[in-house]
């Protein structure tokens, strides 16, 4: 029996992997001017929108697992961008606060991400951008079948 593999151009998994690789490299290059990683920039962007968030709520928003988020927060704290403070509402959790330096960096990170997003998608019409995001969001709702 001979298996015929589909051409890479027709394999959605291959295409998503390559598009993700390209997008990640593109964003990393843009964010590198800030001397932070693209994931750190995105976390700072979330904190810019919702400062003093608990680490568990931040994990849900960013869709990062606890271990990954902890490492990112450790590096942001070492760099002086955030502080971790006890949560007066729940002593078992902590809240993440942007420092003054962190507020400046979070706004810069948001600016760079916004510009990179526009630049990366500039080859698409507004209609194509909406359609692409709609399709991606729909696919993200799928639950893998066992």
Kindly report which listed range (44-53, 82-91, 115-124) carries the lowest average pLDDT score.
82-91
Q: What is the pLDDT of residues 55-104, one digit of tens each?
A: 899 999 999 999 999 999 999 999 999 999 887 777 778 899 999 999 99
Phi, psi of 46 (to 5 degrees): -65, -40
Q: How far, CA to CA in Å, does 83 sit from each of 31, 108, 144?
A: 22, 19, 37
Residue 2 has pLDDT above 70, yes or no: no
- Rounded to 5 degrees, φ, ψ at 115 are -65, -40
Helix (H, G, I), strand (E, B) or coil at 87: coil
CB distance 48 to 106 below 8 Å: yes
SS3 86: strand
pLDDT digits (tens, 9 = 90+) for 55-65: 899 999 999 99
Q: Structural domains in the chain?
A: 32-140 (1.10.10.10)
pLDDT band at 28 (very low <50, low <70, confident <90, very high): very high
């Amino acid at each position: 029996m001979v298996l015929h593999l589909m051409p890479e151009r027709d394999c959605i998994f291959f295409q998503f992997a390559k598009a993700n690789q390209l997008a990640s490299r593109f964003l990393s290059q843009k964010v590198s001017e800030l001397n932070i990683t693209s994931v750190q920039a995105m976390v700072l962007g979330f904190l810019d929108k919702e400062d003093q968030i608990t680490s568990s709520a931040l994990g849900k928003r960013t869709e990062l697992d606890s271990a990954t988020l902890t490492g990112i927060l450790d590096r942001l704290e070492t760099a002086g961008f955030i502080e971790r403070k006890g949560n007066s509402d729940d002593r078992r959790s902590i809240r993440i606060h942007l420092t003054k330096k962190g507020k400046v960096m979070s706004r810069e990170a948001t600016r760079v991400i916004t510009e990179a997003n526009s630049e990366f998608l500039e080859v698409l019409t507004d209609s194509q951008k909406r359609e692409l995001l709609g399709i991606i969001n729909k696919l993200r709702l799928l639950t893998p079948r066992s």
